[in-house]
Amino acid sequence: VQVNKAIGEQNNKNVSIKDGMDISICCIDRSNNTIEYSGANNSFYFLKNKQNKLLDINVKLEDNNYCFYEIKPNKMAIGGGTNHVNYKTHKFSLNKGDVIYLFSDGYADQFGGEKGKKFKSTAFRALLLSISTYNMTEQKRTINKVFQEWKGGIEQLDDVCVMGVKI
């Protein structure tokens, strides 16, 4: 609701604004080693070392090191002038080695490859899990390289933003 107010339901000429957006917001509390996440149509990916496995959430993927969780967002954009619903806030404990990812839909929605198809969320999750043991600089390099190779000569049609934080 507060982000809706910040966006503004009416501009200064009392003309209604109907535009909305998808967004993920998180807040890390370093003193309590917790993270809070809320999303409007954008999931939150959370990788935890296997010894710190979450018991109340299903594991989406896993390898020898990490359990990969997808925390689902509210299925509604933020803004648009008619949305007055509070978004669900998810709170988790953080441990050293955990990795979090926030992202736009542009990476998974990019067309490319041999058949000119979308990259898709399944491949994006698998990519993130496969590079989870890399340092963040190498992860960035790999994410960019894979994207460029996938896209090839096909025009980029959407914004692409991937943010990762390793605790």
Write the pLDDT tens digit of every residue in 77-87: 877 656 667 88
Share the mean pLDDT of the chain.
89
How much is the pLDDT for 56? Answer: 87
The mean per-residue pLDDT over the stretch 18-31 comes to 86
3-class DSSP state of 162: strand
Choose between 149 and 56: higher pLDDT: 149
Specify the pLDDT at position 19: 65
Q: Which residues pair with 46 in a beta bridge?
A: 69, 100
Residue with tokens 């998974």: 108
Query: What is the CB-side half-sphere exposure of residue 64 using CA atoms within 13 A?
Result: 2
**For range 55-74, the mean pLDDT:** 93
- Binned at pLDDT 50, 70 and 90, residue 76 comes out as confident
pTM (two decimals): 0.85
pLDDT, position 61: 96
For residue 72, how many other CB atoms are within 10 A of its CB? Answer: 13
